[in-house]
Structure 1
Amino acid sequence: MSDRTTGFGLPADLAEEAESTAARTAARRRRSRRGPLRRWLHAIVPRGLLGRALLIILVPLLVLQGIALQLFYGNHLGVISRRLAAGMAGEIGMVVEMIQHSPPGADRGWIFREAAWRLDLSMAFEPGAVLSARDQPRAASLPLLPLEEDLEQALRERLLLRFDADWQSDPRSVIVRVQLPDGILHVEAPRKRLFTGTLYLFVIWLVGASALLFVVAALFMKNQVRALRRLAVAVESFGLGRDHGPVKPEGAAEVRRAATAFNRMHARIRRFVTQRTDMLAGISHDLRTPLTRMRLALAMLPSAIGPEGAAAAEQDLAELNTDVAEMERMVAGYLAFARGEVEGKTAPADMVALVEQVAAQARREGAAIALRTPPALIWPVRQDALRRCVANLVDNARKHAGRITLTVEQADERWAQVIVDDDGPGIRAEAREEAFKPFATLSDGGTGLGLAIARDIARAHGGDVMLEDSPLGGLRARVRLPA
C-alpha cells in the first residue's frame, strides 16, 4: 500500500469522536458500579444548575418549616387545646353540679338560660333516657387536631359521670351527652371555642413564607443561570466558528470574571488568527513577485536564444514552466490555508448543491465521480470554506484513484457528513493521524496542505475530518459537521 500527500489541522477545540465514545463508555461503567440508592438519587436530582440550586434551597427550607410546624403542633397547639378543652369541660361540669344539687322538682330552665347566655352552651334535658353503646360515635372528624382526645380527657376528669361526645352530627358544634340519674343532659357547644385561629395564621405564615422565599430564590437564581447560559452559548458558538463578538459581563462576580476572561481569550485568539493570516498572506504576496518575473523571463527566452536553440531548450523550458506552476500552486495553497479558518460567515446552505458543484468541477478535470445524495440538506456552514474542504479531499483522491464516490447524509439530528470514497491504494491505519501533520510529504512529494486545509476548515465548523477504510478498497475521508 503506497502513501499519499497529507497535511495538518489546527489543534482541535472539541474531543475526538473516539475519545468521546470512550468517555461515554467509562461514564456508563461508573453508573453501573453505583448502588441502587445512588442510582435512584442520580435519576431524580436535576441535571441543570438552576434545578440543583433551587433544590439546595428548597430542601433545607422544607426541613426547617417542618421542624417549626412540629414544634408548634406538638407543643404550643397541644397546650392551647388542652386549656380550651379544660375550660369547656369545667363549665359543663359546673352546670351538671348545679342540676344535681337543685331541689327535686325545681325549675331547671333558669340554669339552661344562664348557661346559654353566659357560657354560650345550648342545653336540653331528656328525662328517663339512658346512654347506650350505639350512641357513642368513635369516628374521628378532625384527624389532624388533638381536640377530641383533649376534650374527652378533660370531661373524664371533671364530670366523673358517663358521657359521650358527638363530633359528626353538626359541622359547627360538638354535642356532649351526660348521663344523669334521671335522664340525659344534651350540651351543644361551638367548636370554635376549642381551638384558636392562630393555627391558620401559623400555617399561612409557613406556606406563604416558604412560597415567597422560593419565588425570590428562583428569580435570583434564574438571573444568575441566564448569565451562565449566555456565556456557554458564546463559548460554544466561538468554538464552532460563529463569532458573535465579546460577551457582556453580567450576573454574580464569579460569572462576570468568567465572562471577562472569555473576552480576553477571544481577543487573543482573534489577534493570533489575524496575525497568522497577515503573515502568510504577506509571504504569499512576496513570493508571487519573483514568480511573475520568472514566468515572464521564460516566455521571452525562446526569442532571446533564436530559432536554432529553441528546439534544444524546449524540454528545459517545459520543465521550468512546470516548476513555476507548482510553486504558484504552493503559494495559493499557503494563502488558502491562512484564510481557511476565518473566511466567510456561517449561514444555512444546501450541502447537496455545494457538493454537486465540487463534483462538476472535478469531472471537468477528468475525474470519475459518482454521487449519493438526498434531494437537499440545508445545514449551517461557511459555503466557500466548506467547498474548499471538499474540493481538497476530492483532489487528493483524484491524484491516487480512478473511481470516487461522494456521499452527503445526515447522521442524526445534530450531525451531517460528507464522505469521499476512492479505490486508490489508501493510507496505512497507523499513518493516518501522521497524515494530518503540517507540510508532511510522503511518496508523491506534495506540499501536504490538502488535508491540512480540509481538517482546519472542518474543525473551525466544530467538526472534524477522519480517515477510514473505504468500501471501494481505498481511503474514506469523512467530514462531520455539527448543526
Structure 2
Amino acid sequence: MVPKKKIRWIKRFVPRTLFGRSLLILILPILIIQAISMFIFFDRHWVKMTSRLAFAVAGEISILSSYIDLSDNDEMVQKIMSLSEQHLEFLITFDRGEILIQDTMPSNILEGWEGMVRSSLMHELGGAMNYPFTVDVDFQEKWTEVRVQLPKGVLNVSLPQRRLFSSTTYIFLIWVFFASTILLIISILFMRNQIRPIRRLALAAERFGKGRRVENFKIEGAKEVRQAGQAFLDMKTRLQRQITQRTDMLAGVSHDLRTPLTRLKLQVAMMGDSPDIYDIKNDINDMEKMIEGYLNFVRGDGRETTLLTDVSMMLRDVTISTKRQGCDVALTLNDVSDSIPLRPTAFKRCLNNILSNAAKYADFIWVTLERTGDDEIHIVIEDNGPGIDDNKFEEVFRPFYRLDSSRNVNTGGVGLGLPIAMDIVHTHGGKIWLEKSAHGGLAVHIILPV
C-alpha cells in the first residue's frame, strides 16, 4: 500500500485540468523514451563511432611515424608528407632535431565532445605506437593537432575535425527534436479539439443550473462526449417540460383555490359585522397568505428571463422599501457597481424576504455589498435583533419550519421566506448561510458569481 501522504505530494504536481493531464499522459512517455533512446544512442553509437574513427587515425599516424623514422633523407620524408596530405587530409610538418615538450594537461581536463574525442584519440595512439606524443583538440577551429616525438625530430600532424567527429549525429538529434516538437503540436491541437466539446457541455450545464438560457449548444466530439451531450439535452428538455407542467398546474390550482375563497369573502361581507364574522375574515386572510406563500415556493421563477442587473441599484430599492416599514437600514456599497446575470424579480424577492424577516425582530439593519476576488460578490445583511441559536442555522432553511411553534401567520409567517431565498440563490449558482452578527443579531451571507 502506498502511503496517502506520498499520493497527496504527487497530486500537487499533477495538472488539475483534463487538458493538462492528457498532455502529461502524452508528453511523459515521449520524454522517457527519448531520454532512454539518447542514452543508448550516445553510449552504443556515438562513442563507438568516435573510437573507431580515432582508431583509424591513430593507425595512420603510427604508419607515418614509422615511415618517417625509417627514412634516410629529407626527400623521402617530403614525398611521404605529400602523399599523406593528398590522400589522408593531413597537414604534416617534420621538425628535425626538435624535442617534444610533454603535455602536462590531464587527458580528462576537457569537457563535452572535446574531452571525449581527445581521450579516445590518446587511448588509440597509446595502443598503436610507442613514441611519445601530445594531442591538442580545438573544436572552435575544427582542427586537431598531434605531435609525435621521433628519434630524429618532432612530427606535427594536423587533421580536420571530421576525421574524428561525425556531424551527422547533430543532424540526427535536431531531426528527433523537431519531429517530436511537430508531433507534440499536433497532439496539443488534437487534444484541444477533443476537450473543447467537454468544456462547452460543462458551460451549458452550468448556465442551465443557474437558470440561464442555453443557446447554440450542439452535440459534437467523440462518441462518449456526444452521448453525454445528448443526455444533457434530454435532461434539459424533461426538466423544462416538468417546470412548465408544474407552473401550469399551479396556475390552475391557484385559480381553483382562490375562487371559493373569493365567494366566502363576498358571503362574509354580506353578513354584516360581528365578533364571529371578524374572526372568519381573519381566517380567510390567513388562508390567502398561506396559499400565496405555498404557491410562491412551489412555483419558483423558472420562466423569468435572466438579465444583466445592477446589484447595487437593486439593494438601494429594497432598503428604501424596508425603511418604509419603520426599520432603519444602513447601506454600504463599497464602490461596487457590477451588473451580473440575474432573474431580477426572483432575486428581489429573495432580498425582500430576508430584510422583512430582519425587520420583524430588529430596529436596525446593516446591508453591505463587497467584491471578493474577480468572480464573486458578497452581500451581508445583519441586524441587532435577538438572533437565533446556532443549532437552528440549518433548520430555518427547511420548508415550513418556523421558530414560532404557534403557526400564527401574523407572528412568524408560514415558514417559507428563507427556503425561497435559499432556492433563488442556489438557482443563481450562489451560496447562502447564517452567522452570528457582531451587532448582536443575525447575519445572512450571500455569495453570487459574477
Give the Cα–Cα distance (whole angstroms) in 1 for the partners of residues 43 and 383 of structure 2: 82
SS in 1 for 2:214: coil
Q: Report the alpha carbon displacement of residue 183 of structure 1 after superposing the two structures with TM.
A: 0.7
- Partners of 1:468 and 1:142 in 2: how far apart? 68
1:34 paired with 2:5, answer: yes
Return 62-71 or 235-244, whichever deviates more: 235-244
Partner in structure 2 of residue 367 of structure 1: 326
Q: Does 1:392 align with 2:353?
A: yes
How far has the Cα of 1:241 moved from its partner? 2.6
Cα distance between partner residues in 2 of 1:343 and 1:355: 23
**1:345 alignment partner, one of 296, 302, 305:** 305
**Equivalent AA in structure 1 for residue 51 of structure 2:** R
Distance (whole Å) between structure 2 residues aligned to residue 280 and residue 231 of structure 1: 32
User: Partner of 2:408: helix, strand, or coil?
Assistant: coil
Q: Deviations over 1:369-400 (max 9, x none)?
A: 322322554252322111111112233333x4
User: What's the CA shift string for 1:208-263, capped at 9, x where partnerless?
Assistant: 23212222222222222323222222233333333325843333333333323322
Conservation of the 8 A alpha-carbon contact between 2:336 and 2:369: no
Structure 2 residue aligned with 1:456, among 423, 427, 430?
423
Q: Residue 247 of structure 1 contacts residue 263 of structure 1 at CA under 8 Å; is this kept in 2?
A: no
Instruction: Tell me, in whole angstroms, the C-alpha distance in 2 between the residues paired with 1:454 and 1:411.
Output: 21
Counterpart of 2:356 in structure 1: which amino acid? D
2:394 corresponds to: 433
In structure 1, the partner of 2:141 is 171
Match of 1:47 among 16, 35, 50: 16
Give CA-to-partner distance per residue, 1:414-452, whole Å, 9 cap, x none: 443444444545444434433333334532433322223
Deviation at 1:130, TM superposition (A): 0.6
Higher mean displacement: 319-328 or 64-73: 319-328
Q: Is the 8 A contact 1:58 1:214 kept in 2?
A: yes
Shift of 1:290: 2.3
Aligned partner letter, 2:416? L
Contact 1:177–1:187, Cα closer than 8 Å, also in 2: yes
Counterpart in the other structure of 1:4 = none
| Distance of 2:140 and 2:101 partners within structure 1 | 20
Q: Which residue identity lines up with residue 446 of structure 2 in the other structure? A: V
Matched, 1:480 2:440: no
The answer to whether structure 1 residue 249 and structure 2 residue 253 are counterparts is no
- The percent identity for this pair of structures is 37
TM, length-normalised to structure 2:
0.86
The answer for the alignment partner of 1:401 in structure 2 is 361
Residue identity opposite 2:400 in structure 1: F
What SS is found at the alignment partner of 2:15?
A: coil
Contact 1:407-1:418 at 8 Å conserved across structures: yes
1:326 aligns with 2:286: yes
Q: Is 1:336 the counterpart of 2:296 in the alignment?
A: yes
Question: Do the aligned partners of 2:425 and 2:448 also contact (CA within 8 Å) in 1?
Answer: yes
CA–CA distance in structure 2, aligned partners of residues 433 and 119 of structure 1: 93
Length, aligned pairs only: 438
Q: Contact 2:139/2:161 (CA < 8 Å) preserved in 1?
A: no
Residue ranges of structure 1 left out of the alignment (5+ in a row):
1-31, 303-309
Counterpart for residue 174 of structure 2: 204
Gaps of 5+ in 2: none
Task: Report if the CA contact (8 A) 1:136-1:166 is conserved.
Answer: no
In structure 1, which of residues 253, 257, 270 is the aligned counterpart of residue 240 of structure 2?
270
Equivalent runs, 1:57-456 vs 2, <5 Å: 57-104=26-73, 106-134=75-103, 138=107, 139-140=109-110, 142-143=112-113, 146-168=116-138, 171-245=141-215, 247-299=217-269, 301=270, 310=272, 313-364=273-324, 366-374=325-333, 376-380=336-340, 381-398=342-359, 400-410=360-370, 412-413=372-373, 414-440=375-401, 442-446=405-409, 447-456=414-423
Distance 1:59 1:137 in 2: 40
Relative contact order higher in (CA < 8 Å, ≥ 6 apart): 1
| 8 Å CA contact 1:351, 1:408 repeated in 2 | no
**Partners in 2 of 1:70 and 1:256 — Cα distance?**
44
C-alpha contact 1:124 1:187 (8 A) present in aligned 2: yes
Alignment deviations for residues 327-359 of structure 1 (CA, whole Å, 9 cap, x no partner): 333343334324434153333323232123223
* Aligned CA distance change for structure 1 residues 281 and 404 (closer, same or farther; 3 Å): farther
CA contact (8 A) 1:368 1:403 kept: yes
Q: Which stretch of structure 1 is more off in the superposition, 117-126 or 90-99?
A: 90-99
Deviations 1:177-236, CA, capped at 9 Å, x for gaps = 111111111111111122333312321232123212222222222222323222222233
| Separation in 2, partners of 1:292, 1:188 | 117
Q: Alpha carbons of 1:325 and 1:148: their partners in 2 closer, same or farther (altered >3 Å)?
A: same
Give the counterpart letter for 1:100 in structure 2. Answer: D
Provide the alpha-carbon RMSD of the alignment: 3.0
